[in-house]
Structure 1
Amino acid sequence: MSETGIAVIADIHGNDFALEAVLADIERRGITRIVNLGDHLSGALNAARTADILMARPDILCIAGNHDRWLLEKPRADMGDWDRIAHEQLAPHHLNWLADLPSRRTAQDDILLCHGTPTSDTIYWLDEATSDGGMQLASIERIESLAGDFANPVLLCGHTHIARAVRLPDGRLIVNPGSVGSPAYDDDTPVPHKVETGSPHARYAVLENRDGLWDAAFHLVAYDHMAMARLAESRDQHAWASALATGWLR
């Protein structure tokens, strides 16, 4: 089956098996345009091979996420586990590739690509952490405020790993495709919280313009997630192993 549209991927986090499965699914659908919203390499998995796959695909329009920036800016001693494990695998040409990526760009002149929000790579946009340690859909007022004056009809973001689409009152569509390679994680900022998607699938989205109106469809892709879970476990990354195996943190 051939399908027109733009595939949107994000938050691969060094999961090369998930990336390969998603790219194969995109190809199967006949989609040739792909945009990638950052956080490509950091994690407990295969950072260098993931970088090699992406570097061999100059047709994929990429931006940098917060973890990509931290791989370049932070001394290794100050890195968290995700960044340190990845950084140990990367060669200078991988880091040079990351350094050339912008933090924000447009596709097709009207689709805005960012990682967190248009002005920050660390702020959650469509969802927000709650005081009880979970995540919830953000208020429309917060979402609209963070969209600011960016008039693009489609605004794309990642960062939360949660697939979500929100239509603003003025018609702009904001889409988070979910995470290709990391279905669950925990964090301490802005408050301690967990993100759990509930399944180990790799996730991405497809944008289509139908009669002048942009819309999005979300796709879940099965792959050999247990191989990745075993790899994380072998590196004593138990939360990663649980997330990859189940989509939950146990």
Structure 2
Amino acid sequence: MAIAVISDIHGNLGALDAVLADARERGVERVVNLGDILSGPLDSTGTAERLMALDLETIRGNHERQLLEQPRAAMNLSDAATDAVLEPRHRDWLSAMPVDMWLESDLYACHGSPRDDLEFLLETVEPGGCRAATPAEVAERVAGIDAALILCGHSHKQRAVRLEDGRLVVNPGSVGLPAFADDHPHPYAIESGTPHARYALVERGPDGWIPHLLTVAYDWDAASALAAANGRDDWARALATGYA
């Protein structure tokens, strides 16, 4: 049976609904959510309501942690916009999420890396920008995780990498934000190059887990217009183009 893997929705309810519909059309009933669910200038509460009703297997990302732990004055713009509209029951839902999860005996899920929700697993940020991590770097970051399949999010970069020891690491990409720029720990940009929503299907085959990396069309012009109306032209460009 296939499992749909979603991550980094960032309050983009239109993209989320399109991805969930695509998974249903493919006959997939089990959906796993890797975090960074609400933060942004789009529809945080609508996204929370949709997912609370679905009760998916979900782990928290760094933005959930920041929403729960930081005062609003210390938050970035995306977290602060979400913090302003969340109700106590939304916060209770976020608080109940684990930081990682064993979904099967050989299937492990985290948001960033197993050791840090702010660390990319399949990318490396350095003074010159962001590049694909080497197999040795990935192996070091998943040391001690004895799983045939390791799921991660956070970087928004859709990718699957098989390590020398046979372990498969899959990032489903971002459902709701195809590009962004950041400066932690150095300035860099992540750009998918198209505005599509992204997710992954993973299924167990005779020779182990098989990843399918998928893109889904949705009304990204409406999402871009909403971001612009809420004062986030950076998000508006990213949502409309896939470029930061």
Q: Deviations over 1:5-47 (max 9, x none)?
A: 1110000000000000000000000001111100000011100
* Distance (Å, rounded) in 1 between the aligned partners of 2:65 and 2:7: 15
4+ residue runs over 4 A deviation: none
Pairwise CA distance, 1:236: 1.3
Q: Which residue of 2 aligns with 1:244?
A: 239
Q: Which residue of 2 aligns with 1:120?
A: 116
Q: Which residue of 1 aligns with 2:69?
A: 73
* Distance (Å, rounded) in 2 between the aligned partners of 1:77 and 1:140: 39
Q: Which residue of 2 aligns with 1:14?
A: 11
User: Which structure 1 segments of 5+ residues have no match?
Assistant: none
**2:89 matched to 1:99?**
no
Task: Give the aligned CA root-mean-square deviation in angstroms.
Answer: 0.9
Pairwise CA distance, 1:175: 0.4
2:48 is aligned, of 14, 33, 51, to: 51
**2:165 matched to 1:170?**
yes
Q: For structure 1, which segment, 20-29 or 104-113, has the greater mean C-alpha deviation from structure 2 after superposition?
A: 104-113
Superposed, 1:175-214 pairs within 5 Å as 175-214=170-209
Q: Deviations over 1:38-67 (max 9, x none)?
A: 000001110000000100011x21000000
**2:219 matched to 1:224?**
yes
Pairwise CA distance, 1:212: 3.9
Q: Deviations over 1:155-200 (max 9, x none)?
A: 1000000001111111111000000000001111110111111110
Aligned residues: 244
* 2:170–2:211 contact (8 Å) kept in structure 1: yes
Pairwise CA distance, 1:108: 2.3
Q: Deviations over 1:55-86 (max 9, x none)?
A: 0011x210000001000000011110010011
Superposed, 1:142-157 pairs within 5 Å as 142-157=137-152
Q: Which residue of 2 aligns with 1:24?
A: 21
What SS does structure 1 have at the residue aligned with 2:226? helix
TM-score, structure 2 length as denominator? 0.98
Q: Deviations over 1:177-229 (max 9, x none)?
A: 00000000111111011111111000000001110411101110000011110
* Distance (Å, rounded) in 2 between the aligned partners of 1:63 and 1:117: 13
Q: Which residue of 2 aligns with 1:234?
A: 229
User: Which structure 2 segments of 5+ residues have no match?
Assistant: none
* Distance (Å, rounded) in 2 between the aligned partners of 1:116 and 1:212: 27
TM-score, structure 1 length as denominator? 0.96
1:138 is aligned, of 104, 126, 133, to: 133
* 2:126–2:185 contact (8 Å) kept in structure 1: no
Pairwise CA distance, 1:89: 1.4
Pairwise CA distance, 1:101: 0.1
* Distance (Å, rounded) in 2 between the aligned partners of 1:188 and 1:38: 20
* Distance (Å, rounded) in 2 between the aligned partners of 1:11 and 1:190: 20
